[in-house]
Structure 1
């Protein structure tokens, strides 16, 4: 063991607590100073508040309107072994690719007409 660790272990609880509070205060002050320095550097680079506005603007479309929420897409295909589903959008899932390589057709995994009935009501 090092000498510093022995010194800490021999200190009273009150002394350790006051040391902890002192260290916490110093750390807090240094973190605040570091943050202020980084904000100054960011402002000097031309970022500042403009960069915060840019991050919220990324959620807006190019016309300036907020992006609309798309409706939930119902699954069209189901893996009969694990009940995993796929909506038919995006990359084909591994289970479907493997099944198709083994000679099955994609129509064999199609979920019944329940989804199309729901869409007709909407």
Structure 2
């Protein structure tokens, strides 16, 4: 609608239009909220089935496998995200085998 259409409407018509818009929005918001609550309920149920009451098993300690040649205090087990020093050395053209700790 253009502004001219609103100008020609009286207060009662505008109020009626306002109530229609408000009720439509409230209904749509309620429907969307119900969908989201249902999704959340499903996620919570699936999350509960994954968990169990038993405690997590203890993993053995992993000894470091690689050592930074520039700073021997920096070591990496080879698991998880690569440390910055490893990434920098690999970009410089070196290979992981260069950093193996001799046993």
Structure label with greater radius of gyration: 2
Which TM-score band applies after superposition, normalised by the shorter structure?
Answer: 0.3 to 0.5
Higher RCO (C-alpha 8 Å, min separation 6):
2
Q: TM-score, normalised by structure 1?
A: 0.41
